[in-house]
Structure 1
Amino acid sequence: MLPVRTAPQPGQCIQDWLEHLAALNAMSSGQLTSLITQDAGPLRFLSIKPTGRVVARVAELAGVSGAVVRSATVERFDGTGLVELRDLDPEHWSTWRRVAARGWIRATGSAACPQCLADDGFWQLQWRLPSTTVCTRHGCYLVEQCPACGRRLLDHPHTALRPAPGTRCLNPLPGYGHCDADLSALHPQRAHDACITRQTRHDIALCGAAPAVLGSPCTPSSYLLDVWALTVLLLALASTPGGAGLAGWREDLLTESARRKTTPTERGPAGSHPIGQHGPVRWSVHPPTSPTTRSRALATAEAIITNEHLDEAAAALHPWIMAAPTTTDSRLGWLADRTRMTPTLTRLCMTALAPHQRISHALRASPLVVDIDRIPQAVPEPVYQRHAAHLFRTRGETPRHFLALCLVRHHDPTLTWAAAADILGVPPQHGTNTARAISTRNPLAARDLDRALRCIVSDLHEDRCHLEDLVHEKAQHPDWFLPWSSAQRPGTRKSSLPYAVTWLWCHVAGGLLSTSPGWPDPPDRPARTAYRQFEAALSPQAATSLASITNT
């Protein structure tokens, strides 16, 4: 054992710990390295996954357990979804290729928070993860490049340890010497609130707790893997010519990709090259070197993944997917070639590619001035026949309700199908189901639908909210029913009152059969059949008389 022994600080990386351990024993880092290697062999992959002999020797010198030594290496995060080291044999350098090919991991280098270095004076292990981009303690982006030498921090590939501990860079310089820049004196950039929130959830997931993904509970490893996979996909889509305007960090991404040299390890599938570069960058292997760009991309992906509703998350992803170039391969195949398609990401992409999501995008792209008070639950049948009946194969009130939902979303493009239904007084899930049913059975062209909606708006003149209130009033005070039925339909039973109220609700107020105030609960199949019989048996004269009831 060494004369002075100490365990690593919570979260301290093994290299910084050993450098401090050498200084406490009045040794140079080279002397401590010799003490370890003379019995344990080379310190290959010291910060990632050291050999068992190295772990035992360091534990013996420092007077700690082997588990404590491994907790100061990246192996601590193995199996979290961000790091997979199962194929790495630290005795053989060639096995590193299998780990590096999975992406977002480096054998050397680290990021750092200058303020943390100034406060504590030690380097944290989590800074070595590319997914760690923000210091939640100080609310700033991490620094990954030394402004003096221009290299990544802790980039000393030929030596396991730096010459001395501390806050200086100490990267080797060409020829002789080391960079003497004091990193604790740097002024990091203030992080966006979304990036801080994303980093907080990331850190909690590393500790064993994860937020819900698309409204469903998940394991921390699947959450971290889903966010990583979607981030890689967004980076690839933002790099395409069609990615203009998708994100504020796109220009920084293109600037960095233009600076990168195209090497065989960075080449990707044909058609994926970023703008301004002769060859593509595989973002799944080599993430953006700027912590700011990387953090904003991660925050964008995390906001989509953690949405409570699948449809809303798919609607947010849909504009991104539309940026994928058109090739001989399917769009889903193009996406799968550029990231790891986890089950969650596959479900999200397939939902985003669904026809009703394309319609959602078209509604957001062409807003229309609509008076929300004039929109009924279902477009009136005469208006529907004049302007939109030729667009639909589906019969009944479903296409008329779908058109009403489209008008509400034209009024407020940020709404979802469920939210639009709620505004119309319909159960939210009914709106989502209607959009799916229409888009599945009817090949709608966005241009034709937009033209029909604009014509429909010009034909909606009555205040439907006022008409709905009148029908509710007639349902609560049915003293009009017996005089009307005696004059227009002799022999009509009093039990037919719900059908008359429902007729007013559907034909005068433009409401849906299921939401009629004529019955306290949604009608079952026999009730619907009985109403249809009442509706079919109503003569034109009786229908005109019944419609005039709302004017009295």
Structure 2
Amino acid sequence: MLADNAESDLPTLVNLAPGEALDAYLERVADANYLTTARLIEMVRAGHGSTTAYLMLAPTPATLKRIAHLTGAAAAALQNATLAAYDGTSLDLHGLDPAHQSSFRTIAARGWIPGHGTQICPQCLADDGIWRITWRLPTTTVCRTHGTYLLATCPGCQRPFRDQRHSPLRIVGSQTLCGNPLGQGPRKQCRVDLTTLAAEPADDACLQRQARQDTADAAGAVATFAGQLAAPEFTTTLRSLTALLLHLAAASRTPVNLPSWARDVADAGTPRVRRWSIRPPQDSVLRSRPLTAADHILASEDLDTAATRFGSWLEHLHDVPEGRLGWLADHTRMTPTLTRLVMAAHAPRRRLSHLLDQQPPLTASTRQIPQVLPQHLVRDHLGGLFDSRPATIGLFASLCLAKTHPHVHSWADAARELRLPPELGERTARACSASMTASPADVAAALARAARRLEIDYRAMEDRVQHLARTKRWFRRWSRHNCRGTRPGSRAYALRWLWLEVAHGHPATVAVAANPRSYRKFARLLTEEQATTLAGAIATSPHTTQESR
């Protein structure tokens, strides 16, 4: 791209290609004008106040003006050919002053700042010989045109491409050779032909992730579980979450349950501590896949889904001295969005409790909620949502249903409402929240489906069983007609069965004590007909009936 009515100190004008990197463009300018790249750099520096320090990061206005005067290209187009074009989207270069070398430390401390060198797509170079500026971004890992991962290291010299430390331009000019100095004299460069290198096909998920990143850079915002995030916040959060996933993979004791890239990180076993939040993996594949995993979390439709996805990674973090939250904060740069995600994933009980507080009551009255949800409802609606025992899930489900009522403000309140000990409600909530394998939204939906099948007044049912515990005639009558030979002492087992199987009460509140082993034998030997008639004892003996002992 040339400026209108371009005037140049050089006889041959060269068009700046869209998306071309400035240093590669200057190499083409040098070749077109039969100049060495060293001579062209001398001409750039000859301008008053011009400097090539940090040329590809943030060139000074004087430098851009000098290059524009030499090449005839527009100064704005030249700046867009540097990483300064991404300041405020994929990069934060605020505070960089080319006149003060120490200022680079300020921006480098923010992490993921491009240094020397670039990535490449060999096929793009073979097609047009243009080096793209986007290849230098750490968040660019694939070529969407050719569907391949970028290459980050030359197989000949084992260094990043364009790794010149004393001059921004290569001695080989615009040739598609590596051109890195080999340290064997001023004229010794790596001669690998970059267009002959093979690139690995990229995963579809990585290509989609790259499209979202490109959208953020172009549109200035991207959709996440937290709504539309501005590009700087999105990119910073994405990089921080990626660093966290890398650290979690490295800390995992069960890498077999991790994705293949995470197993590679876990198996590396390097004694040196990696600072992934400062410098990402150099290999583009090893950088792309955790970036994609992080973006998959950020792209969730809501916070609950995002927290569930991130929570599966937290399972690999075992007990640490500083605590889980302290460990997470120490291993990345926290952003407001990432903080929300970490807190939500770290406290599933709080997330579910908050969600239930926002729900309208799932039952007309708390009297319709048993102390323990019947097992057939647990099996039909809550199966696979928890790792706890079915009885514990049934108790927690009843507490959750009570929690949806406006006058119930805590798990202890929910327990009291169901005539359970308050500490039992809190203890059960902690245990089941830790064993949740589904998102709180899925659990709430399952509870709503189960609640539609609850129509009995369970408090009245409990009162009737309590009344039966104070009488004996009903048991003699039932055993005489349905179970001849039953000993009077079996009345305690029958009451326990009615409490657990008909009133769906909790064992901690059972009406009478009974030997557990003998009770299990009694319950196992009950026939279907006997169970039906025993359950009918509640209906035929309301608690208002006055019976003699």
TM range (shorter): 0.5 to 0.7
- Among 101, 123, 135, the alignment partner of 1:93 is 101
Preserved contact between residue 102 and residue 285 of structure 1 (Cα < 8 Å): yes
Whether contact under 8 Å (1:227, 1:302) holds in the other structure is yes
Equivalent position to 2:428, from 444, 449, 452: 444
1:56 aligns with 2:96: no
Superimposed CA distance per residue, residues 227-249 of structure 1 (whole angstroms, 9 cap, x where no aligned partner): 11211111111111436223220
Structure-2 residue corresponding to 1:22:
30
Cα 1:326–1:469 shift into 2, 3 Å: closer
Query: Quick one: which amino acid aligns to residue 148 of structure 1?
Result: G
Q: Distance between the aligned counterparts of 2:110 and 2:166, measured in 1?
A: 24
Structure 2 residue 185 is the aligned partner of structure 1 residue 173 = no
Aligned match of 1:337: 330
Distance 2:377 2:273 in 1: 42
Q: 2:369 aligns with which of 387, 397, 402?
A: 397
Checking the alignment, whether the CA contact within 8 Å between 1:77 and 1:206 is kept in structure 2 is yes
Q: Does 1:47 pair with 2:56?
A: yes
Aligned partners of 1:23, 1:118: CA distance in 2, in Å?
18
Structure 2 residues without counterparts, runs of 5 or longer: 1-8, 354-361, 388-396, 415-424, 436-448, 456-500, 505-537, 544-549
1:360-383 CA-to-partner distances (Å, cap 9, x unmatched) read 9xxxxxxxxxxxxxxxx99xxxxx
- Checking the alignment, whether the CA contact within 8 Å between 1:5 and 1:62 is kept in structure 2 is yes
Choose from 186, 206, 209 the match for 1:195. Answer: 206
Question: For each residue in 1:58-80, what CA deviation from the matched residue of structure 2 results, as whole angstroms up to 9, or x when unmatched?
Answer: 11111233222211111111111
CA deviations on 1:386-422 (whole Å, 9 max, x unpaired) are xxxxxxxx9972874698886457644599xxxxxxx
Contact kept in structure 1, 2:251 and 2:266, CA below 8 Å: no
Q: Which amino acid aligns with 2:262?
A: R
Is 1:314 matched up with 2:307?
yes
- Note if 1:138 corresponds to 2:122: no
Q: Does 1:13 align with 2:6?
A: no
Q: Hey, what's the Cα distance between the residues in 2 that align with 1:405 and 1:344? A: 37
Aligned residue in 2 for 1:228: 239
Deviations for 1:70-110, whole angstroms, at most 9, x for unmatched residues?
11111111111x31111211011111111111111233110
1:41 deviates by: 4.3
Contact 1:359 1:446 in 2 (8 A): no
Query: In 2 relative to 1, CA 103–31 (structure 1 residues): closer, same or farther, beyond 3 Å?
Result: same
Q: SS of the counterpart of 1:307?
A: coil
Are the aligned partners of 1:315 and 1:352 in contact in 2 as well (CA < 8 Å)?
A: yes
Matches of 1:53 and 1:450 in 2, distance apart? 60
**Any conservation in 1 of the 2:224–2:300 contact (CA below 8 Å)?**
yes
* Alpha-carbon distance in 2 for matches of 1:449, 1:215: 23
- Partner of residue 148 from structure 1, selected from 134, 148, 156: 156
Write out aligned runs for 1:402-413 (5 A). 407=379, 411-412=383-384
Instruction: Describe how 1:54-453 pairs up with structure 2 within 5 A.
Output: 54-80=63-89, 82-163=90-171, 164-176=173-185, 177-214=188-225, 216-242=227-253, 244=255, 245-254=257-266, 258=268, 276-356=269-349, 397=369, 400=372, 407=379, 411-412=383-384, 442-444=426-428
Distance 1:409 1:234 in 2: 33
Q: Is the 8 A contact 2:297 2:310 kept in 1?
A: yes
Deviations 1:278-324 (A, max 9, x none): 33111011111111011000010000111002112111111222333
Query: CA 1:329 to 1:92, structure 2 compared with 1: closer, same or farther past 3 Å?
Result: same
Q: Which sections of structure 1, spanning at least 5 residues, go unmatched?
A: 259-275, 361-376, 379-393, 416-425, 452-464, 472-506, 511-538, 545-552
| Alignment-mate amino acid for residue 315 of structure 2 | M
CA shift, 1:325, in A, is 4.4
The separation in 2 between residues aligned to 1:42 and 1:10, in whole angstroms, is: 24
Task: Note the alpha carbon deviations across 1:167-200, whole angstroms, 9 max, x for none.
Answer: 2111111213111111111111011111011001
Cα contact 1:237–1:243 (8 A) shared by 2 = no
SS at match of 1:212: strand
Q: In the alignment, residue 426 of structure 2 is paired with which amino acid? A: N
Change in Cα spacing, 1:160 to 1:403, as seen in structure 2 (3 Å) is farther
Counterpart amino acid of 1:247? P
* In 1: Cα distance, 2:314 partner to 2:368 partner: 33
Preserved CA contact (<8 Å) 1:122 1:167 = no
Residues 470, 438 of structure 1: alpha-carbon distance in 2 compared, 3 angstrom cutoff: closer
State the AA in 1 paired with 2:234.
Y
Larger radius of gyration: 2
C-alpha spacing 1:52/1:401, structure 2 compared with 1 (3 Å): farther
Residues in 2 aligned to 1:97 and 1:251: alpha-carbon distance in whole angstroms: 33
Give % identity.
36
Task: Provide the secondary structure at the position in 2 that maps to 1:218.
Answer: strand
Aligned residues: 407
Name the structure 1 match of 2:5: none
Taking the aligned partners of 1:470 and 1:330, their CA distance within structure 2 comes to 42
SS at match of 1:217: strand
CA distance in 2, matches of 1:36, 1:542: 102
- Does the CA contact (< 8 Å) of 2:344 and 2:351 recur in 1? no
> 1:433: how far off?
6.6
Compute the TM-score of the two structures, normalised by the length of structure 2.
Answer: 0.66
Counterpart amino acid of residue 351 in structure 1: A
AA at the equivalent of 2:264: D
SS of corresponding position for 2:78 = helix
Cα distance per residue 1:419-466 (max 9 Å; x no partner): xxxxxxx9xx989979x9759962238878999xxxxxxxxxxxxx9x
Partners of 1:290 and 1:41 lie apart in 2 by 34
